Amino acid sequence: MTDEKTNEKRDFIRQIVAEDIRTSKWDGEVCTRFPPEPNGYLHIGHAKSVCLNFGIAAEFGGKCNLRFDDTNPVKEEPEYVESIKEDVRWLGWDWEDRLYFASDYFQQMYDYAVELIKQGKAYVEELSAEQIREYRGTLTDPGKNSPWRDRPIEENLDLFERMKNGEFPDGSKTLRAKIDMASPNINLRDPVIYRILHAEHHRTGRKWCVYPMYDWAHGLEDSIEGVTHSICTMEFENHRPLYDWYLDQLPVHHPQQIEFARLNLSYTLMSKRKLQRLVQEGYVNGWDDPRMPTLSGLRRRGYSPASIRNFCDVIGVNKFYSTVDMQLLEHCVRQDLNKTSPRVMGVLKPLKVVIENYPQDKVEYLEAVNNPEDPGAGTRQVPFSRVIYIEQNDFMEEPPKKFFRLAPGREVRLRYAYFVTCTDVVKADNGEIIGIRCTYDPATRGGDAPDGRKVKGTLHWVSAEQAVDAEVRLYETLFTKENPEDVAEGDDFTDNINPNSLEVLADCKIEPCVKDLKPLSRVQFERNGYFCVDPDSDENRLVFNRTVSLKDTWAKIQKKQKK
């Protein structure tokens, strides 16, 4: 499997890892980690990182840790820890016994900070947050030294310990590294190492009153765990000199940080904050709304783990800004579901068909193939009777050119059943078509004419008497614009929300075999698309989400004809 990825085809990170193995840089070891902060739900962008880190470990015979970077108690909750674990597992990755928490290293991090103070490389700051900002300078102007920068080591030691012991209020002091207030890299202008936070931590409770900042914590977490390749997103590139500086001050293992560009997807947002707004302001029905790019949303929508893993593989890894086309994700899910989904006939917008010459009370069972892509999937029996439903848009009274479906006087095939010919159109007083009448040819049972006669169209159908009623939810993109952030002056992304992103079809007719499907089961409704049983389903009501439609050549032709 590893052989398939020849060196030339590897992304730049895998090339680095391969080279490090070749040169025995880390004694041939590979250790990566996926380090989420438990402050929100994972989305498809995180999946890229998960697959990168776990994927590299798997391909190179290494290990990948799942580590919660829980250094900010005011934002983090156990609920997120659980959802993240579930999502990573669902994607198909296994951290085995390597489930770690940054909070488990708090004592060690604290001890290292004391060590830094002893070296004269850190000091207790008493400037306020606002003053620190003023002293920091700007992008173009250097900062200036804090008046507390040169206080004696003993005093720093004493103050820091008392910070830890909770003697000072939040925000009154910080511990800062003594680096260079004139550095062109602002991250090096005496960055804060610890802040005082009297907060309840979801794992350590009230034990700590000081909490480490990202830069201090993250490198040490990597170091403690023996991570070799610390893979993160581009916005941390400016932090790498600090990551390195911290680890260089201490006699510890020093991993290599490598940055890649985060995923952007057309017609969606990836920012946790903005996704949260969608939820909180009611634009969607929760984090697992099938329109959300969260993994829980995609799961409920019907995406398979394999399709998402394949997607992450196909998009590649790079260092430059790019936006992947939504259609690529849809391609990946169709590709997987085509091979794996059982076929079912389901009529979304029913049109009643009476077959005049079919016996009144007869019901017969016809054999249907469960999955033409998978002979092992077998066949099933589908009931047929005098009254059936077909799709409203499979019938046109005055069909345009290239319309191969049913029309007055025209013969089509009912899939796996019979050829039928439309003899009459039934209309309501307002002229609306409420049903049609047909005759069938008994000789075509199963769907083939013994005289070799051909039909242009094959329709799916459901026998009225045996049909299962269902609600079907159809989705479009959540935003009308490829880039949801593309807004007029004064507007924001919510102004680009697609008002038609959800369409609920309340009385759909599905063939009876779906009756006992469990939530999250995936099926293909032939000619309609891939669907997934929504957890909203109960014994009285089946609910399906459309994961993605089938490719629809007829829709394209129609579009062109309209022009």
Partner RNA sequence: UGGGGAAUAGUGUAAUGGCAGCACGACUGACUCUGGCUCAGUUAGUCGGGGUUCGAAUCCCUGUUCCCCAGCCA
List residues with catalytic annotation: 37, 262, 272
Site for RNA in 430-469 (CB under 7 A): 446-448, 457-458, 460
Cα 349 from chain centroid? 30
Tokens 């389901």 belong to residue? 346
Given a contact cutoff of 8 angstroms between Cβ atoms, the answer to whether 345 and 427 are in contact is no
As measured in angstroms, the least distance from the Cβ of 547 to RNA is 13
Segment holding 122, helix H or strand E: strand 122-125
- Closest to RNA by CB, 174 vs 294, is 174
As measured in angstroms, the least distance from the Cβ of 300 to RNA is 22
Given a contact cutoff of 8 angstroms between Cβ atoms, the answer to whether 472 and 544 are in contact is yes
Contacting residue, 46, 201, 218, 380, with RNA by CB under 7 A: 218
As measured in angstroms, the least distance from the Cβ of 304 to RNA is 16
As measured in angstroms, the least distance from the Cβ of 309 to RNA is 15
Which string of DSSP letters, residue by residue, matches 400-428? -TT--SB-TT-EEEETTS-EEEEEEEEE-
Can you list the alpha helix ranges (DSSP code H) found in 316-367?
A: 326-340
- Closest to RNA by CB, 56 vs 289, is 56
Site for RNA in 234-263 (CB under 7 A): 234-239, 261
As measured in angstroms, the least distance from the Cβ of 449 to RNA is 9
Size of the site for RNA (CB under 7 A): 95
Contacting residue, 157, 252, 324, 425, with RNA by CB under 7 A: 324
- Closest to RNA by CB, 511 vs 526, is 526
Contact status: 415 vs RNA (CB under 7 A): yes
Contact status: 413 vs RNA (CB under 7 A): yes
- Closest to RNA by CB, 197 vs 252, is 197
Contacting residue, 106, 384, 416, 461, with RNA by CB under 7 A: 416
Contacting residue, 323, 357, 381, 392, with RNA by CB under 7 A: 323
Contact status: 268 vs RNA (CB under 7 A): no
Contacting residue, 32, 72, 304, 537, with RNA by CB under 7 A: 72
- How far apart CA 421 and CA 23 sit, in angstroms, is 74
Q: Which residues pair with 45 in a beta bridge?
A: none
- Closest to RNA by CB, 133 vs 515, is 133
Contacting residue, 15, 119, 381, 561, with RNA by CB under 7 A: 15
**Which amino acid is it at 411?**
E
Q: Which residues pair with 381 in a beta bridge?
A: 367
The SS3 call for residue 164 is helix
Contact status: 325 vs RNA (CB under 7 A): yes
- How far apart CA 206 and CA 204 sit, in angstroms, is 6
Distances (CA, A) of 408 to 217, 394, 418: 73, 12, 17
- How far apart CA 333 and CA 328 sit, in angstroms, is 9
- Listed as own residue / partner, the contacts of 236-244 with beta carbons closer than 8 Å and 24 or more positions apart are 238/185, 238/186, 238/187, 239/187, 239/214, 239/215, 241/185, 241/187, 241/188, 242/179, 242/185, 242/187, 242/188, 242/191, 242/215, 243/215, 243/218, 243/219
- How far apart CA 362 and CA 381 sit, in angstroms, is 15
Q: Phi and psi dihedrals of 510, rounded to 5?
A: -120, 150
As measured in angstroms, the least distance from the Cβ of 72 to RNA is 4
- Closest to RNA by CB, 197 vs 505, is 197
Contacting residue, 43, 291, 300, 405, with RNA by CB under 7 A: 405
Sign of CA dihedral 274, 276, 277, 282: positive
As measured in angstroms, the least distance from the Cβ of 444 to RNA is 8
As measured in angstroms, the least distance from the Cβ of 77 to RNA is 13
- How far apart CA 500 and CA 60 sit, in angstroms, is 46
Contacting residue, 46, 291, 334, 509, with RNA by CB under 7 A: 334
Q: Which two tokens stand for residue 256?
A: 């290599």
With CA atoms as reference, report the closest residue to 477 among 532, 548, 556: 548
- Closest to RNA by CB, 202 vs 334, is 334
- Closest to RNA by CB, 466 vs 524, is 524
Q: Which residues pair with 414 in a beta bridge?
A: 459
Site for RNA in 493-522 (CB under 7 A): none
- How far apart CA 365 and CA 387 sit, in angstroms, is 14
Residues in the chain: 563
- Closest to RNA by CB, 345 vs 467, is 345
The SS3 call for residue 364 is strand
3-class SS shares of the chain: helix, strand, coil, % to 5 = 35, 25, 45
Contacting residue, 34, 54, 112, 214, with RNA by CB under 7 A: 214
- Give the contact letters, 340-379, x = binds to RNA (CB under 7 A), - = no: ---x---------------------------xxx------
As measured in angstroms, the least distance from the Cβ of 551 to RNA is 4
Contacting residue, 328, 363, 434, 443, with RNA by CB under 7 A: 328
Site for RNA in 165-204 (CB under 7 A): 170-174, 184-187, 191-192, 195-197
As measured in angstroms, the least distance from the Cβ of 141 to RNA is 8
Site for RNA in 530-559 (CB under 7 A): 550-554, 556-557
Given a contact cutoff of 8 angstroms between Cβ atoms, the answer to whether 442 and 468 are in contact is no
- Closest to RNA by CB, 289 vs 547, is 547
Determine how many CB atoms are found less than 10 A away from the CB of residue 87.
23
Site for RNA in 95-154 (CB under 7 A): 125, 127-129, 132-133, 136, 138-140
